[in-house]
Amino acid sequence: MPAETTLSADDPEGRTERSRPTMREVAALAGVSLKTVSRVVNGESGVSPDLAERVRQAADRLDYRPNLTASNLRRADRKTSTIGLLLEDVSNPYSAAVHRAVEDVAGVRGVSVFAASLDEDPERERALVGALVARRVDGLIMAPASDDHSYLLNERRSGVAVVFVDRPPRFIDADAVVAADREGAATGTRHLLAHGHRRIAFLGDLRSIPTAIERATGFEGAHSEASLEPDPSLIVQGLHTSELAERAAMELLRRPDRPTALFTSQNLVTIGALRALRALDLQRTVAIVGFDDIPLADLLEPGLTVVAQDPTTIGRTAAEVLFGRLDGDRSPTATRVIPTTLIERGSGEIRPV
Amino acid sequence: MPAETTLSADDPEGRTERSRPTMREVAALAGVSLKTVSRVVNGESGVSPDLAERVRQAADRLDYRPNLTASNLRRADRKTSTIGLLLEDVSNPYSAAVHRAVEDVAGVRGVSVFAASLDEDPERERALVGALVARRVDGLIMAPASDDHSYLLNERRSGVAVVFVDRPPRFIDADAVVAADREGAATGTRHLLAHGHRRIAFLGDLRSIPTAIERATGFEGAHSEASLEPDPSLIVQGLHTSELAERAAMELLRRPDRPTALFTSQNLVTIGALRALRALDLQRTVAIVGFDDIPLADLLEPGLTVVAQDPTTIGRTAAEVLFGRLDGDRSPTATRVIPTTLIERGSGEIRPV
DNA sequence: CTGTTAGCGCTTTCAA
DNA sequence: TTGAAAGCGCTAACAG
């Protein structure tokens, strides 16, 4: 039997395209059995040094590349060394930082990461989970877009580990790693109250997003603690883009009884609000505290005071929890809450006129 | 034969973990042959409606999930509907925007994307390419860290399509999609020259990065065109972090014969330089033009003038070229150059004192 | 329209 | 220490 089967076909440069060599072909060239090649490729013990060397040379000559998907099919553990990561949008700085942290933990274990964006679309979430399960990922880390995750029970029952990030699971008992949304928002709000503000506007994201609700709750909670009540007309939600936020902030700031401070619940909302403040030249008059840190926030004038999340810790923790489960951790599921940090840079320390 | 084989094992909630049902089991439950299930699952024609319905119900009852890795093993086209995307750092805004664009093109074709970061490490590049090839990705889109890509010839010969982004291929003839680095840098430099600057500093990234060299070349070219020569002592390279850039800018700006303008060749370098300008309160005195746009650049005072790349177009184009190859496009390889845009916001229009 | 048989590339099992 | 045979879940090729 020939050691190479050559298919005719040309690549763009006119070189012959050749089908990938298999273990069988390596075995034939080395004059050993298939199983011996398998042992060498997988670094199993019990192969005589000279046979092993012959196998390695044959593999080299043929440019042999092990096929992980084939080996996984038969292997006892059934692990693909592959996980899925579903985020709101991989190009959003927060998601991207989570992504990088997950990648770093996965990388040292030789696990590859499928990353994808959900865009707050529950149907997309279902479709992508399906695509990843069809590729037999070992686990899933997700910031869900849907509000019912019970459909994941079936997947988990057949061995897929699932960890939620950024948003808690609903209708399923699962591990989660989230930011201290409510407490963080309360801290930011208290900061403004402590600086004398009594008319603070809240600019929030879609109410379908659990973190948005938590942050609104924290905003209100800080008021209650101080026996105050926020003016309902200063609470605007459903702002999912910086454009919408800019328009909403514009309207609020043009009112005769405009707020003396803004609390913005998310990075894009903060950016929109900053644009509105600048457009009306109020950036030194009206205070603002934003949830989520933003690159360059320290270079604005005044600097932007924020309640910063720690996406790197969130991502790393989520990955560690996931791999713990894959390694057999059977302890009860838990939600880990990663604290936020108030960073004072100027915009949040402006006092009301 | 039983329709379900139940393995004993408990998940964290104490539910029984059950092995995933196969087509065989679905076939047994539906009382048809394996092949009929295969046809229904793959939407092939030629199955009577009521058989198809029975199969679907059986699949539903068992929570059947097709195994793409198994089907790929036997299928004629040998395609996994999976690609690899190797970027400098998935959490860098530029890389993240490319990622998102690639995802969007891949998504409509049902292709999943493995994304990973290279961190300018050639060894990491080799290792990750190996990991992706072992998972039999159909194609690879990469912003390489290494300076010799001939090792990819073997992979391509066995059918892996390869497209370079951001940086051109070396020692291999391959498709590429890059920004107009040299021309963009020249445009930014001309802009400063046109505003009267004659002492312009160039702050550049590692000289191991091809785009960094191109941009330096563009900077020098713009000077030559005007029969000028940049002061070599104002050209600082090897700045790969914003901290290094800040320190370098600081030194330049403290010199008695300090530059009247800065050209920064990359977003992190720009941020470092901006910090230095602010620290010395020179942001309204010394002009700056940066390569790469930055979020919030318009909200700085003065606004940041930039030579903006178009990472979305770069990513989309790269994906389109890749899928074109996978669809059989055999035309000669080509390098597509995506133009840059000069965006004037104030910092680049400051005139020398 | 439906089913049977072989086999993708690999690991498992068991025998030599 | 080495290898032969079986089979992972699925599709190709061919019968009926």
Contact between A346 and A302 (Cβ < 8 Å): yes
Nearest CB among B80, B154, B325 relative to A63 is that of: B154
- B145-178: string of b/e by CB count within 10 Å (b at 16+)? bbeebeebbebbbbbbbbbbbbbbbeebebbbbb
Distance from CA of B215 to the nearest CA of A (A): 24
C-alpha span between A168 and A173 (Å, rounded): 10
Cβ contact B45 with chain D strand, < 7 A: no
| B302's tokens | 């003065």
- Look up residue A264 and give its DSSP letter: E
Please answer yes or no on whether A158 and B18 come within 8 Å at the CB atom. Answer: yes
Q: What are phi and psi of B44, to 5 degrees?
A: -75, 150
Across B291-314, average pLDDT? 96
B174-CA/C7-C1' distance, Å? 35
| CA dist., res. B341 & res. B292, Å (int) | 9
Q: How far is B108 from chain A (nearest CA, A)?
A: 11
Residue nearest to nucleotide D9 (CA to C1'): B70
The nt closest to B73 (CA vs C1′) is C8
- CA distances (Å), origin A317, targets A181, A210, B273: 17, 20, 34
For residue B198, the model assigns a pLDDT of: 97
Q: Please report the pLDDT score of residue B232 as a whole number.
A: 96
Q: Number of A to B CB contacts under 8 A, please give it.
A: 192
Which residues in A lie closer than 8 A to residue B346 (C-beta atoms)? none
H helix or E strand, kind and range, residue A193: helix A181-194
| Apex A181 CA angle, A177 and A183, nearest 5 | 120
Answer with the residue of higher pLDDT: B2 or A155.
A155
Within 13 A of A34's CA, how many CA atoms are on the CB side?
Answer: 6
Nearest nucleic acid nucleotide to A34, CA to C1' distance:
D3
Cβ of A116 within 8 Å of Cβ of B112? The answer is yes
Residues of chain B in contact with residue A92, where contact means CB-CB under 8 angstroms, are 96
Residues of B within 8 A of A96 (CB-CB) are 90-93, 96
pLDDT given at position B2: 34
Q: B219 by DSSP, 3-state: which?
A: helix
Residue B233 has pLDDT above 50, yes or no: yes
Q: What is the pLDDT of residues B31-70, one digit of tens each?
A: 999 999 999 999 888 888 888 999 999 999 999 999 999 9
Q: Nearest 5°: phi and psi at B135?
A: -90, 5
Q: What is the DSSP letter of B140?
A: E
Size of chain A in residues: 353
Amino acid letter, A326:
L
Chain A residues closer than 8 Å to B153 by CB = 15
Position B308 pLDDT exceeds 80: yes
pLDDT number for residue A16: 65
Q: Are A107 and B100 inside 8 Å of each other by CB?
A: no
| CB spacing of B271 vs A296 below 8 angstroms | yes
CB contact under 8 A, A100 and B89: yes
Query: For residues B51 and B31, is the Cβ–Cβ distance under 8 A?
Result: no
pLDDT at B92: 93
Q: How far apart are CA A336 and CA A72, in angstroms?
A: 32
> How many Å lie between the alpha carbon of B101 and the closest alpha carbon of chain A?
9
B14 pLDDT tier (thresholds 50, 70, 90): very low
Nearest Cβ partner for A115 among B113, B294, B298: B113
Residue among B68, B100, B158 whose CB faces A89 most closely: B100
Is the CB atom of residue A38 positioned under 7 angstroms from any atom of strand C? yes
Q: Tell me what percent of the residues of chain B surpass a pLDDT of 90.
A: 89
Question: Tokens 């790393």 belong to which residue?
Answer: A316
Q: Smallest CA–CA separation between B224 and chain A, in Å? A: 34
Please name the helix (run of DSSP H) or strand (run of DSSP E) that holds residue A85, with its range, or none.
Answer: strand A82-87
The helix (run of H) or strand (run of E) holding residue A336 is strand A335-338
Which residues in window 114-143 of B are less than 7 A from strand D by Cβ? none
User: What is the C-alpha separation between B338 and B340, in angstroms, rounded?
Assistant: 7
Closest CA-bearing residue to C1' of D8: A74
Write out the E strands in B186-225. Answer: 200-203
Q: Which residue has the tokens 């403290």?
A: B254
Backbone angles phi, psi at A266, to 5 degrees: -170, 155
List, in order, residues 6 or more apart from A210 with CB less than 8 Å away. A167, A168
Closest nucleotide to B27 by C1' from CA: C3
Spatial distance between the Cα atoms of A45 and A41, rounded to a whole number of angstroms: 11
By DSSP bridging, strand A112-117 and strand A161-165 are unpaired
What does the buried/exposed string (b/e) look like for A262-279 if buried means 16 or more CB atoms within 10 Å of the residue's CB?
A: bbbbbbbbbbbbbbbbbe
**First-residue to last-residue Cα distance in chain B:** 90
DSSP state of A228: -
Q: What is the pLDDT of residues B91-126, one digit of tens each?
A: 999 999 999 999 999 999 999 999 999 999 999 999
* B8, pLDDT greater than 60: no
- B-chain CB neighbours of A20 within 8 Å are 158-159
pLDDT at B183 over 60: yes
Average pLDDT over residues B203-223: 96
**Contact between B175 and B331 (Cβ < 8 Å):** no
Q: From the Cβ of A282, is strand D under 7 Å away?
A: no
For residues B265 and B216, is the Cβ–Cβ distance under 8 A? yes
CB B177 within 8 Å of CB B145: no
DSSP string covering A112-174, please?
Answer: EEEEEE-TT-HHHHHHHHHHHHHTT-SEEEE--SSS--TTHHHHHHTT-EEEEESS--SSS--
Which residues in chain B are contacts of A63 at CB distance < 8 A?
154, 158
Low pLDDT (below 50) residues in chain A: 1-14
CB atoms B91 and A73 under 8 Å: no
**Nucleic acid strand C within 7 Å of A206 CB:** no
Residue B353 has a CB neighbour count (10 Å cut-off) of 6
Considering only CA atoms, give the Rg of chain A: 27
Computed from CA positions of residues B206, B211, B217, B221, in that sequence, does the dihedral angle turn out positive or negative? negative
Q: How confident is the model at residue B16 (pLDDT cuts 50, 70, 90)?
A: low
Q: Would you tell me how many other CB atoms lie within 10 Å of the CB of residue B90? A: 26
CB contact under 8 A, B294 and A297: no
B169 close to B176: Cβ distance less than 8 angstroms: yes
- Residue A302 preceded by cis peptide, ω within 30: yes
For residues B67 and A136, the answer to whether their CB atoms sit within 8 Å is yes
Q: What local confidence, expressed as pLDDT, does residue B15 receive?
A: 54
Q: Residue B346's beta-bridge partner residues?
A: B303
What angle do helix axes A23-30 and A49-62 make, rounded to 10 degrees? 120
B69 closest CB neighbour out of A136, A271, A297: A136
Q: In what order do the strands lie in the sheet with A287-291?
A: A235-236, A200-203, A261-264, A287-291, A305-308, A341-343
d(CA B351, CA B353): 6
Under 8 Å between Cβ of B132 and A148: no
Q: How far apart are CA B31 and CA B137, in angstroms?
A: 36
More confident residue, B295 or A12: B295
Cβ-Cβ contacts under 8 Å, B91 against chain A:
93, 96-97, 99-100
